């Protein structure tokens, strides 16, 4: 229970930092909503960890709910890294095209 309280306090600190960054115009509204939904989902997961334990056990898995959440987060991170790699490849292609056009226009 103490770990859950500490985790919720840390999440509250992250959320307050997000709001502060939004007030200083350091992040946009879309980024605020994305991170706010992420941290709220994390807080809900921490609050209902016992329910997640029962849910995972109901489907016959022998792991705890926190392990299940950890596996889900690793999968999400791999997906996000994959999307980031695709975006970087697209950016590299666009940059190459712009440089090529600039070089051809100078000649």
The tens digit of pLDDT for each residue in 45-77 reads: 999 988 888 888 888 877 788 888 888 889 999
Q: What is the pTM of this model?
A: 0.68
Contact present, 46 and 11 (Cβ < 8 Å): yes
Residue 35 in domain: yes
Closest residue by Cα to residue 6 from 45, 38, 46, 44: 46
Whether residue 69 is found in the same domain as residue 43: no
Whether residue 70 is found in the same domain as residue 107: yes
d(CA 64, CA 49): 9
Using only the alpha carbons of the chain, give its radius of gyration.
21
Residue 52 in domain: no
Whether residue 106 is found in the same domain as residue 79: yes
Whether residue 41 is found in the same domain as residue 77: no
Whether residue 39 is found in the same domain as residue 68: no
Q: Which has the higher per-residue pLDDT, 1 or 96?
A: 96
Whether residue 2 is found in the same domain as residue 39: yes
Closest residue by Cα to residue 35 from 27, 46, 24: 27
How many degrees, rounded to 5, is the angle at CA 33 between CA 27 and CA 4? 110
Give the residue numbers spanning the domain of 69.
64-107
């Amino acid at each position: 229970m103490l770990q859950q309280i500490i985790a919720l306090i840390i999440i509250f600190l992250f959320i307050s930092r997000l709001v502060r960054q939004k007030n200083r115009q350091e992040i946009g509204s879309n980024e605020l909503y994305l991170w706010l939904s992420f941290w709220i989902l994390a807080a809900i997961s921490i609050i209902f960890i016992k329910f997640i334990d029962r849910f995972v056990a109901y489907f016959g898995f022998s792991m705890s709910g926190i392990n299940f959440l950890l596996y889900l987060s690793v999968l999400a991170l791999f997906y996000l890294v994959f999307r980031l790699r695709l975006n970087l490849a697209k950016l590299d292609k666009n940059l190459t095209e712009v440089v090529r056009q600039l070089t051809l226009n100078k000649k």
